[in-house]
């Protein structure tokens, strides 16, 4: 028999987390969040929802572990190579017109996408005048991202992705391999500022020419999608770019009229 | 009149492509319910899998939050898990691999069990790992129907055999029998 969390219990959990720890998951898609809470319970040997609630109220360390489990921390370098090719060919040449470039990676997880962006900028000769802001709600992801360390096992796939994205350099120039890990070169990382930002509860903090928020909207319901799209709208300079995941769509959000489509297939939009 | 099922979901891996092509060709173009296909695929390689699967049927890869519509054929996109939400919209998920796979058949079957209950028909074809078995059990436990391709006729028997070993009341049918079942009993 499959365990389940009733609608009432689910709301209770959301409320405890919100009131006690300030993380608001109200607008998250329920099916996947429930699934991940159940997965956390089984991993933490918590057998009933009652126990989970009780422990969440009394044990902040348990909450820290739960955040790690219920947020999705999967990422890849140069995921969807064609998207990066489009950035290279169509977006970066436009950004080159700005004397100083500011880019925000919202929901950066452990940093793989922002490292990829730094490589693109380097190859376009733009990195030295770009500031990259990379945020996530999960502090453990940010700690990891700031180290610049990536498991060596992944590099074969990433090298393949990099080449597919139109990369012409030797990919291994961008990192140093040591034992089972690689370290992304400091020259790339020094342009990146990692910091905690929660798209649900935090507000505008700067103005950007490009915001990348890929595969984050899939976890938000429509109301929250609209809220975040408004936040991005307010954070973009006029005619600034927004990139979403290639299977995410703005057409189901009310706010889509405030954006124009630059590249429909790769989900690159522009603030009107 | 509405038939017995509101959705058909088909999962497959190694060795399933040719049988799936034959199966799709044999089905009418205008099915009364959505047909959702989940195949194990390479993750960052451009592919025209939808077109490869059928020359005659329009098979689309859904976007996140797209409504699940009757009469449509869908294919799970590369590198996402595909689930269905309670409001009958697609939900894509970019979480860890499940059974070394993304998309994982288990994830889709499991959400279909939750949302469609006894109105779900799920079919598991040839494959070289056990993905889909647990999900198929959930579908059957929720009152839906679970069918596997007869392992003796499958190029790789592990996938259908795992479901037979794990679930009670799973129907074991040849491809011809599966086609007949879909045409006459749905």
Name the token pair of A178. Answer: 């040591």
A10, pLDDT greater than 50: yes
Chain centroid to CA A129: how far? Answer: 23
Q: Is the pLDDT of residue B49 over 90?
A: no
Please state the rounded mean pLDDT for residues B113-126: 97
Mean per-residue pLDDT, B103-127? 97
**Among all residues of B, which ones are annotated catalytic?**
13, 40, 131
Q: What percent of chain B has pLDDT over 90?
A: 87
pLDDT at A77 over 50: yes
Give A30's pLDDT tier (boundaries 50, 70, 90): confident
- How would you label A215-241 residue by residue, b for 16+ Cβ within 10 Å and e otherwise? bbbbbbbbebbbbbbebbbebbeeebb
Q: Mean pLDDT over residues B32-51, rounded?
A: 86
Q: How far is A100 from chain B (nearest CA, A)?
A: 32
Tokens 């009341």, residue located: B169
Task: Share the mean pLDDT of chain A.
Answer: 95
Confidence check: pLDDT of B42 > 90:
no
Q: Would you say residue B14 lies in a domain?
A: yes
pLDDT digits (tens, 9 = 90+) for B6-20: 999 999 999 999 999
Q: Is the pLDDT of residue A199 over 50?
A: yes
Question: Which tokens belong to A66?
Answer: 């739960």
Strand order across the beta sheet in which A149-151 lies: A149-151, A181-184, A175-178
Residue B60 lies in a domain: yes
Distance CA B46, CA B78 (A): 9
Q: Please tell me the predicted confidence (pLDDT) of residue A154.
A: 95
In a domain, residue B31? The reply is yes
The answer to whether B92 faces chain A, any CB pair under 8 Å, is yes
pLDDT band with cut points at 50, 70 and 90 for residue A1: very low
Residue A93: strand, helix, or coil: helix
Distances (CA, A) of A93 to A13, A120, A256: 47, 11, 25
Is there a domain that residue B119 lies in?
yes
DSSP A202: -
Whether pLDDT at A3 is above 80: no
Query: Under a CB-based contact definition with an 8 Å cutoff, are residues A190 and A181 in contact?
Result: no
**Residue A123 burial (CB < 10 Å; 0-12/13-18/19+)?**
middle
Nearest chain B residue to A161 by CA: give it: B44
Is B114 contained in some domain? yes
- pLDDT band at A32; cut points 50, 70, 90: confident
Q: Which helix (H) or strand (E) holds A159?
A: helix A155-164
Structural domains of chain B, count: 1
Q: Is B146 inside a domain boundary? A: yes
CATH, residue B175: 3.40.50.180
User: What is residue A249's predicted lDDT score, i.e. its pLDDT?
Assistant: 86
Do A180 and A153 meet the contact criterion of CB atoms below 8 Å apart? yes
Q: What is the pLDDT of residue A225?
A: 94
Is A72 close to B95, i.e. CB distance below 8 A? yes
> Which residue in chain B is spatially nearest to A252 when comparing CA positions?
B65
Where residue B181 falls among pLDDT bands split at 50, 70, 90? very high
3 state DSSP class of A151: strand
d(CA B170, CA B167): 6
Residues in chain B: 186
Say which residue the tokens 């500011």 belong to: A102
Domain of residue B97 covers 7-185
Phi, psi of B86 (to 5 degrees): -60, -30
Q: If you average pLDDT over residues A145-150, what whole number do you get?
A: 97
**Position B84 pLDDT exceeds 60:** yes
Determine contact: B93 vs chain A, CB below 8 A: yes
pLDDT tier at A149 (50, 70, 90 boundaries)?
Answer: very high
Contact residues, chain A, for B63 at CB < 8 Å? 247-249
Q: Is residue B2 a part of any domain in this protein?
A: no
pLDDT score for B52: 82
Residue B88 burial (CB count, 10 A): 14
DSSP assignments along A210-269, one per residue? EEEE-SSGGGB-HHHHHHHHHHHHHHEEEEEEEEE-TT--STTSGGGGGEEEEETTTTEE
B174 CB burial (10 A radius; 0-12, 13-18, 19+): middle
pLDDT at A146 over 80: yes
pLDDT in tens, B137-170: 999 999 999 999 999 999 999 999 999 999 999 9
Query: In angstroms, what separates the C-alpha of B43 from chain A's closest C-alpha?
Result: 9
Q: Is the dihedral of CA A32, A38, A39, A44 positive or negative?
A: positive
Rounded to 5°, the CA angle B84-B158-B116 comes to 20
Specify the 3-state DSSP secondary structure of B141.
Answer: helix
Tell whether B1 is covered by a domain.
no
Supply the pLDDT for residue A4. 79
CB atoms within 10 A of CB A10: 17
Q: How far is B63 from chain A (nearest CA, A)?
A: 5
In A, residues 62-91, which contact B (CB 8 Å cutoff)?
Answer: 72, 74, 76, 78-82
Predicted confidence at residue B36, as pLDDT, reads 98
């Amino acid at each position: 028999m499959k365990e389940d969390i009733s609608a009432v219990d689910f709301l209770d959990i959301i409320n405890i987390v919100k009131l006690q720890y300030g993380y608001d998951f109200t607008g998250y898609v329920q099916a996947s969040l429930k699934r991940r809470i159940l997965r956390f319970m089984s991993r933490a040997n918590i057998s009933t929802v009652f126990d989970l609630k009780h422990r969440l109220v009394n044990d902040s360390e348990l909450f820290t572990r739960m955040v790690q489990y219920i947020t999705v921390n999967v990422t890849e370098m140069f995921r969807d190579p064609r998207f990066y090719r489009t950035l290279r060919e169509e977006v970066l040449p436009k950004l080159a017109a700005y004397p100083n470039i500011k880019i925000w990676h919202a929901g950066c997880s452990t940093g793989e996408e922002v490292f990829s962006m730094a490589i693109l900028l380097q190859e376009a000769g733009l990195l030295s005048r770009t500031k990259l802001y990379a945020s996530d709600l999960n502090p453990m992801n940010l700690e990891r991202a700031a180290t610049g360390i990536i498991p060596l096992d992944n590099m074969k796939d990433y090298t393949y992705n990099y080449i597919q994205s139109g990369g012409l350099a030797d990919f291994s120039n961008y990192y140093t391999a040591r034992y089972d890990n690689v370290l992304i070169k400091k020259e790339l990382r020094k342009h990146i500022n990692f910091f905690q930002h929660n798209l649900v509860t935090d507000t505008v903090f700067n103005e950007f020419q490009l915001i990348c928020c890929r595969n984050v909207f899939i976890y938000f319901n429509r109301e929250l999608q609209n809220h975040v799209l408004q936040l991005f709208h307010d954070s973009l300079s006029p005619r600034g770019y927004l990139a979403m995941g290639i299977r995410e769509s703005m057409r189901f959000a009310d706010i889509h009229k405030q954006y124009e489509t630059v590249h429909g297939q790769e989900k690159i939009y522009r603030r009107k | 009149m509405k038939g017995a099922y509101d959705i058909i979901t088909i999962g497959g891996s190694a060795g399933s492509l040719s049988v799936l092509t034959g199966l799709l060709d044999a089905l009418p173009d205008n099915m009364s319910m959505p047909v959702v296909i989940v195949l194990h695929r390479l993750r960052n390689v451009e592919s025209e899998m939808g077109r490869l699967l059928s020359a005659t049927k329009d098979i689309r890869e859904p976007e996140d939050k797209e409504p699940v519509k009757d009469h449509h054929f869908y294919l799970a996109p590369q590198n996402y898990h595909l689930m269905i939400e309670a409001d009958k919209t697609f939900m894509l998920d970019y979480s860890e691999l499940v059974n070394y796979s993304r998309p994982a058949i288990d994830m889709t079957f499991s959400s279909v069990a939750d949302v469609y209950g006894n109105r779900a028909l799920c079919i598991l074809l040839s494959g070289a790992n056990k993905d889909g078995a647990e999900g198929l059990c959930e579908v059957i436990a929720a009152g839906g129907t679970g069918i596997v391709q007869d392992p003796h006729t499958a190029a790789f028997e592990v996938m259908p055999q795992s479901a037979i070993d794990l679930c009670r009341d799973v129907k074991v049918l040849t491809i011809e029998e599966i086609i007949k079942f879909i045409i006459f009993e749905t």
